[in-house]
Amino acid sequence: MAKCEYLNPSGSIKDRIAAHIVDCAEQDGRLKPGDTLVASTSGNTGAAVAMVAAIRGYGYIAITNAKCSQEKRDSMAAYGGKLIVAQDGLAADHPEHYVNLEATLCARRSDYFPINQYENPDNPGAYYQTLGPEIWRQTGGGVTHFIAGGSTGGTVTGTGRFLKEASRGRCKVLMPDPVGSVMLGAYHGDGTAVVIGALAAKSYAVEGVGKDSVPGCVDFSIVDAMLSVTDKQCFDMCLRLSREEGLLTGGSSGLNMHAAVELSGRCKPGAVIVVVLPDSGVKYLSKIYSPAWRRSKGFETQEDEADAPAGADTDADAGAARDPQRDANLARVSSAFKLSGTSNTDQLLNVVDK
């Protein structure tokens, strides 16, 4: 089952935390009329915060980096506030890293309110109070597996905690992670980012999931297993969803659905797998759904497209040897194995009932 969170008003799952964080801040007096909301974001939270700001009469500043798609930049600016685009590829502790700029701006002015989505406990709290109960109710309490990647960690932590409590531990939580993110190494290590080697932060193309540092919102004790996924696997799955299922989704949805397909072949009959589809593919028409962009990144060759029969999914059928991150992923999984004695296959078995 897919939870189509891209149907929320601003086009993503982040509407949940934007409304909840602002509600909590208003209720306890931290946010006052005339204040400006400031959010560091890979795009979706910025658009959600901008929408809430417009509805409630606040100003807003959204801070993202150059990796953010043009469609998401335009959506953040469309509500009338300010958009700052920081340099991409900076170290997580660099003062001009987009996440750090939020704190810097808010320290200068008392009427700037930090959304602080990566550290704010109201982030997982939003999912604990909304998404978790919705999934439980909509599956009649039958959900056995929940799948969500993590950027802030709010979705997987808040939703996963609720489902585990409601099911008395029966529901298992699988968290896929893109190659280049530090989450996998932190999960298999001591909870902090690995800084050297295959598990250290690297550049990757999928947006809005994974991270170059470990956010305070993520609680790895909720996660039963993690699965390492390449950019190409994410984008190939996006194309399958659009062409075979009529679901136009973003890269994090491809990540989550790839993990769901991998898991489904190993589950017993009767398992109820719920996978989150966080945002819309409309936000990535210039990237994921552009053959020219995919070719420029090595996810597809012109020959692949030209040689394919009419109607064929050339992207999904492209061989693993053409995956630019394949070798990096093998090294990454191998490094995780050395830390924890587990592999991608073993991780899947961790969430399958014996």
Which are the catalytic amino acids? Answer: 14
- How far apart are alpha carbons 100 and 89 in whole angstroms? 13
> What does each C-alpha distance from 38 to 18, 134, 151, 252, 340 come to in angstroms?
11, 29, 18, 24, 39
- How far apart are alpha carbons 347 and 266 in whole angstroms? 11
> What does each C-alpha distance from 305 to 106, 246, 299 come to in angstroms?
48, 21, 11
Q: Which of 211, 181, 219 is nearest to 198 (CA)?
A: 181
Q: Name, in order, each residue with C-beta under 8 angstroms of 33's C-beta and a sequence gap of 6 or more.
A: 57
Q: Pull the structure tokens for residue 163.
A: 């489902």
> What does each C-alpha distance from 269 to 144, 266, 353 come to in angstroms?
11, 9, 11
Q: What is the DSSP letter of 309?
A: P
Tokens 């982040």, located at residue:
14
Q: Pull the structure tokens for residue 306.
A: 């030209």
Instruction: Judge contact between 75 and 9, C-beta under 8 A.
Output: no
Instruction: Judge contact between 290 and 299, C-beta under 8 A.
Output: no
Q: Pull the structure tokens for residue 32.
A: 């006052």
- How far apart are alpha carbons 139 and 111 in whole angstroms? 43
Instruction: Judge contact between 229 and 332, C-beta under 8 A.
Output: no
Q: Which of 171, 170, 151, 135 is nearest to 276 (CA)?
A: 135
| DSSP per residue, 79-116 | TSSEEEEEPSS--TT-TTSHHHHHHHHHHH-TTEEE--
